[in-house]
A and B are shown apart, each in its own frame.
Chain A
Amino acid sequence: MEHITDQTVVDLIGGAEIAGAEEHLASCAQCRELQRIWVQRLASLRDLQRESLDESELHRLRVMYRQLGPRPVEGMRWVARLVRGSDLQPAAARGVVSGSIFEYEAGPYTLLVRVGPGGRGSRVSVHGQLTTSAGDAGSSGTMALSSTDNGAYICDIDRFGEFHLKGVSPGRYRALLWVDGGAIELVDLSIGGDETH
Chain B
Amino acid sequence: MHGDSWVESRALDKGLVSACLRGDEEAWVAVWTRYGPLVKAVARRAGCDAEEARDVVQRVALVALQNLSSLKNPEKLAGWLAGVARFQAFEVVRQRRPGEDLDSVGPWVDARADDDLIRDQELALLQRAFEQLEGRCQRLLHRLELKEPPDSYRDVAIAEGLSETSIGPIRRRCMQRLRKLVEQLSRSAA
Contact = CB atoms under 8 A, between A and B. Distances in A.
A7 B173 CA distance: 10
B63 A182 contact: yes
Interface in A41-90: 41-42, 44-53, 57-58, 60-62, 64-66, 68-73
B25 A58 contact: no
Contact of B37 (A16, A52, A132): A52
A133 interface: yes
A184 B65 CA distance: 11
A47 B62 contact: no
A134 B182 CA distance: 40
B65 A70 contact: yes
A61 B32 contact: yes
B29 A62 contact: yes
Nearest to A107: B58
A47 B44 contact: yes
Range, interface on chain B: 35 or more
Contacts of A44: 41, 119, 122-123, 126
Interface string A3-26: 000110011011110000000000
Contacts of A64: 58, 61-62, 65
B101 to A, nearest CB: 18
Interface stretch (B6-14, B92-100, B106-114, B154-162): B92-100
A48 B62 contact: no
Contacts of B29: 58, 61-62, 65
B183 A6 contact: yes
Contacts of A50: 41
A53 B130 contact: no
A136 interface: yes
B95 A49 contact: no
B28 interface: yes
11 contacts: A6-B183, A41-B126, A48-B127, A52-B37, A52-B40, A53-B40, A62-B28, A62-B29, A72-B68, A107-B58, A136-B95
Interface of B: 20-21, 23, 25, 28-29, 32-33, 36-38, 40-41, 44-45, 51-55, 57-59, 61-70, 92, 95-96, 98, 119, 122-123, 126-127, 130, 142, 145-148, 168, 171-172, 174-176, 178-179, 182-183
Interface of A: 6-7, 10-11, 13-16, 38, 41-42, 44-53, 57-58, 60-62, 64-66, 68-73, 107-108, 132-134, 136, 182-184
10 A-B pairs with least C-beta separation:
A53-B36, A51-B37, A14-B172, A14-B175, A51-B40, A107-B58, A47-B41, A65-B28, A108-B55, A10-B179
